[in-house]
Homo-oligomer: A and B are copies of this chain.
Amino acid sequence: MARQARAIQTRTSILLAAAEVFDERGYSTATITEIIARAGVTKGALYFHFSSKEDLALGVIAAQLELGPLPAQRTKLQELTDQGLLFAHQLQHDPLTRASVGLAMDQWSESGENGEGGNPFHGRPFQEWADRLTELLVEARKRGELLPHVDPAETAELLSGAFTGIQWTSQVLCQRRDLTRRVIAMFRHLLPSVAMPQILPTLELTPERAVALLASRDAALEAEEAEDGEGDAA
């Protein structure tokens, strides 16, 4: 059990180090040597967990997607805007999230030098985000939260694409310092074309909301772990 816990810890340190190095250098110029040094692990330990640089990058992307669901809210549209606010917050504060988006957007990665247009991570996370948002919007439709003409897949695709560009321009212009403000402006412009009029005033769209959400998620996770512990003891 202690060995398993240590293995999980090593894997996590490697992923965090890899995320930082990818975030700072980009995929093509990052080296495994630097990731090993940053993580403070042996070469053997790294290759025990990850077979290649590409494997490490896939691990970083997967870790970001594993962040777990947020606490349920009164409306599915609140959950949808919460996802956006939280994602903006994580991009500002979490190297894993930043590296994951960086990997997905890296245009000319190593394998692209043969002219094949080759980032192997391209597309995947964007399709995955659009799929998640579609699911949320389909749920929102079932609950009567959407205007009748809304096509969930089309709106999800728009949100995913628009968010991608908004976080990107915010990064380029000011290191994402104004990202939360920009994401709120996006939702304020888009929601009147999506939500039933009576839902609009119930939606909480504030810069402080992401931190509150994280606190309540952490509290929920801790409660769950405490329960699991009891289960083990029984």
A positions within 8 Å CB-CB of B: 24-26, 28-29, 102, 105-108, 112-113, 115, 122-123, 126-127, 154-155, 157-158, 160-170, 172-173, 182, 185-186, 188-190, 192-194
Contacts and interface: CB of A to CB of B under 8 A. Distances in A.
A26 B26 CA distance: 14
Contact of A164 (B107, B169, B188): B169
Given A154-B185, A165-B166, A168-B168, 10 more contacts: A25-B113, A26-B107, A126-B169, A160-B169, A161-B169, A162-B166, A189-B190, A189-B194, A190-B190, A192-B193
A108 B165 CA distance: 17
The residue among A113, A123, A127, A157 with the most chain B CB atoms within 10 A of its own CB is A157
Given A29-B108, A106-B107, A106-B108, A158 B172 contact: no
Contact of A161 (B155, B166, B190, B194): B166
- Which 5 pairs from chain A and chain B are nearest by CB? A165-B165, A26-B108, A164-B165, A162-B162, A161-B166
